[in-house]
Structure 1
Amino acid sequence: MTSAPRTVLYVQHAAALGGSAMSLLYTIQGLDPARFTPVVALVRPADELARLYEGAGIRTVPWRGIHPWDHSTVAPQPLHRPSTWAHLADVARHWRSSQRSTLELVRHVGADLVHLNSMPLSPCAEALVREGIPTVWHVREPPLPARGPRYRAIRARMMAVDELVFISHADRRAWVGGERGLVIPNFVDFSRFDRWMDGGAVRARLGIAPDAPVLLYVGGWSPVKGIFPLLGAVARLRERFPGLRCLMPGSVYAQSTRLPARAARAVLPLVGAGTVSQRVRGEIERLGLADALVQLPFADDVAPLFAASDVVVFPATRPHFARPAVEASAMARPTVASRLAGLDELVDDSETGLLVPPGDPAALADALARILGDDDLRRRMGEAAYRAARARYSAGPAVERVMEVYDRVLAAHGR
């Protein structure tokens, strides 16, 4: 007799489209519907996220009662900032209510298993463990640089859940010293990434000459993902490649209208600082880069942008798993990235791309110029990257491993 599919509740912390949202979508789309039925809970409901999942036929539930612990993400909030303490106070104040809300969500959905999609969901993890609910925790971020109380608090909760899935070996070592958990890198659905796609139509639509050298940077205006080293490198490259263009999806977005954001935009420039977006705009103007940067809104279908590019660049300033590097490999494009933990697992230096010191615009420009100026090297690295992507990042084997984790956790709970 065939058993009914098990309901898997995916708790999504993100408030906007991005890497975690797309990774979760690819995972769910690869599930065997005879074994698992997915439901996505959006703890920060956003129309664009709801459309992403519902457009793929996935049931989505808005759920506002959970307060994520955000400072545990890739760009931690340092303790010297008043906003960090305000956030900590908010998380502490809502810790128990977040736990109650988590359990109410499980009952509302009728979940057999919960998949926490990222590290900021510590309150959820504690509640689920206490109630004996089968739980898988996806670890998408490295730990904080300092191994202080916050690190120890998060790690203690990690060690208590049924199963941990890390997206890089570096993160697994940093969090648990390899004591438990398994590594399943973020993967790609090759049906979405056709390496033979003609990028000429995209270039034409964006007004880019067919023979112009084109970079692709998928990081928005995030300092952690390297926007400032990138701008410095582009300024240097223009002297060698006058027609250079840099595609920047995710750099056009609506600014927050909340009072703290509006106050920051008004006050910070008066004290010689400025918000990130103000600083980025100022640097673009100072370097005269407006015509070299093709600024675009976030795109969930990025394959055409890869097809239109020659090299992908990801100059992160902190250890980081870079989905764009994986997608570049799937499209047979080399990547130039920072030599950091996590990134060095995605780019085989001098084979599938080049690694450079983080925060060094001159070294970044030199590496990009080396690839842009050598067609044979660019093709050779692209081919090597594609072979590596097929071996390491194919969706089918990766999702099968995820489903095996679900089966193992459910069996351990007698389900």
Structure 2
Amino acid sequence: MTVNATIGVLHTIDTTGPGGAETVFRQLATGLDPARFRSVVAITGEGWLADDLRAHGVTPVMLPGGRRRMSVRYLRALVGLIRRERIDVVQAHLFGTAVYASIAGLLTRRPVVATLHGSVDVDPADRVLALKFALLRAGLSAAVFVSDALRDGLAAGGVLPAGRCRRIYNGVDVARYRGIDRASARERLGAGDGEILLGALGNIRPAKDYGVLLEAMARLVDGPQGHRFRLVIAGQPDRHGLHEALLRRRDELGLGERVAFTGHCTDVPGLLGALDAFVLSSASEGLSIATLEAMAAGVPVVATRCGGPEEIVSHGETGWLVPAGDPAALATGLARVAGDPDLSARLAASGLARVRAEFSLEAMTGAYAGVYEQALARNGSCAPAPGWLP
């Protein structure tokens, strides 16, 4: 334990954002009770996450990049930081960082908690995947999953000990989404009177399945109310050609004037406040912070059954669920919700109530605080390991 009787927590991740994992990373690093915890933040480079941390009063420590197959330099820097800052618990995010943190925890005899945010972070074709899971089993005090579906999928078959696996839902700051000027928000997006504005929020990557969303939008536009529908997709473009392919497909479907890709969103409450319905078209989701944000903003949600969303949305009660990978079903769901004001209002109100009750930021940080204290209690002595990796 540190000399001032607070628990020193090192928060570390090897991506720079933007994204859901990076958002949770910052929320946790800045949201723990300062009377009980002292947070140190270590990341691997400049970018959205570094800027967001600084905007919240946190100066990150920069470590040499660790996304290579194995970087001794990164590991040495991580171990040195743990010792120098007298860290009591290491909190890692994402699978790759969890592997490094597990080794560092073994070398320093510090408990390690790792949060896994999605199955796409684990490559089944990785030739050393079994070794990585072995390191996690040896070094982790607790593995946190953001949904039951993710825990059941990644921890299946005993690759991680069930007794060390926890589910902690992501949380959102509901107060951030209050008092949005809807008229101004719609005006900024160019939404006209009588238009039905749909919106999706998430970086451009395969798991979001935006191709299915474009196909669904084409069906909506061909319908009896087609002239009223518009779609905004807000997310950072990828670097592998998917964004360009989606733009080409949009134009092939004749949706150039109906679908806008707006890039990374810097005003999420403003975007959500303008929408008539939020849509999640993903093929796979750990949980989906964007869905929680939409519900917190009082926007009705139409989401695919792709893992995490089923734990957020109760079909017909707090939102509308459709099969993943099915453009026709997605279009039908969107038309149903957007075309029925009473249903839309009921789903929005019930969704907001559910987020307030079960997915608050306070609930999330409180649950992590409990995991840290349990990990320290199980770990016993915090005496440092011998000076390996000087």
Shorter-chain TM-score range: 0.7 to 0.9
Q: 1:123 to 1:356 in 2, by over 3 A?
A: same
- Rounded Cα–Cα distance in structure 2 between residues aligned with 1:336 and 1:154: 37
2:194 is equivalent to residue 199 of structure 1: no
SS class of match (1:116): strand
2:108 is equivalent to residue 131 of structure 1: yes
2:217 is equivalent to residue 234 of structure 1: yes
CA offsets, 1:240-297, max 9 Å, x none?
331322122225x5x76xxxx7xxxxxxxxxxxxx21221121011112222123323
Q: CA deviation at 1:141?
A: 1.7
Find the partner of 2:134 among 131, 145, 156.
Answer: 156
2:157 is equivalent to residue 190 of structure 1: no
Where do residues 302-341 of structure 1 align in structure 2 (5 Å cutoff)? Answer: 302-341=268-307
TM-score using structure 1 length:
0.82
CA offsets, 1:33-57, max 9 Å, x none?
11112222112x1233221001101
Indicate if the aligned counterparts of 1:200 and 1:210 stay in contact, CA closer than 8 A: no
Q: CA deviation at 1:320?
A: 3.4
CA offsets, 1:15-64, max 9 Å, x none?
22111121122223321111112222112x12332210011011211111
* Map of 2:244 onto structure 1: 278
* Map of 1:39 onto structure 2: 40
Q: CA deviation at 1:300?
A: 4.3
**Residue identity matched to 1:31:** L
* Map of 2:23 onto structure 1: 22
**Residue identity matched to 1:247:** V
SS class of match (2:130): helix
Q: CA deviation at 1:314?
A: 0.9
Q: 1:213 to 1:141 in 2, by over 3 A?
A: same
CA offsets, 1:311-343, max 9 Å, x none?
111111134321111111212222212212222
**Residue identity matched to 2:375:** V
2:99 is equivalent to residue 116 of structure 1: no
Could you tell me which runs of 5 or more consecutive residues in structure 1 were left unpaired when the two chains were aligned. Answer: 69-89, 262-274
TM-score using structure 2 length:
0.87
**Residue identity matched to 1:333:** V
Equivalenced residue count is 369
Indicate if the aligned counterparts of 2:19 and 2:202 stay in contact, CA closer than 8 A: no
Q: CA deviation at 1:148?
A: 8.2
Q: CA deviation at 1:151?
A: 4.8
* Map of 2:334 onto structure 1: 368
Q: 1:398 to 1:48 in 2, by over 3 A?
A: closer
Q: CA deviation at 1:149?
A: 5.8
Indicate if the aligned counterparts of 1:117 and 1:137 stay in contact, CA closer than 8 A: yes
- Rounded Cα–Cα distance in structure 2 between residues aligned with 1:150 and 1:383: 47
- Rounded Cα–Cα distance in structure 1 between residues aligned with 2:303 and 2:131: 32
* Map of 1:212 onto structure 2: 195
- Rounded Cα–Cα distance in structure 2 between residues aligned with 1:396 and 1:124: 26
Identity percentage over the alignment? 28
SS class of match (1:242): helix
SS class of match (1:224): helix
Indicate if the aligned counterparts of 1:330 and 1:390 stay in contact, CA closer than 8 A: yes
Indicate if the aligned counterparts of 1:247 and 1:294 stay in contact, CA closer than 8 A: yes
Find the partner of 2:371 among 405, 408, 415.
Answer: 405
CA offsets, 1:143-176, max 9 Å, x none?
7585986553343333331112110011222233
2:81 is equivalent to residue 105 of structure 1: yes
Indicate if the aligned counterparts of 1:119 and 1:141 stay in contact, CA closer than 8 A: no
**Residue identity matched to 1:46:** E
Q: 1:291 to 1:213 in 2, by over 3 A?
A: same
**Residue identity matched to 2:367:** R
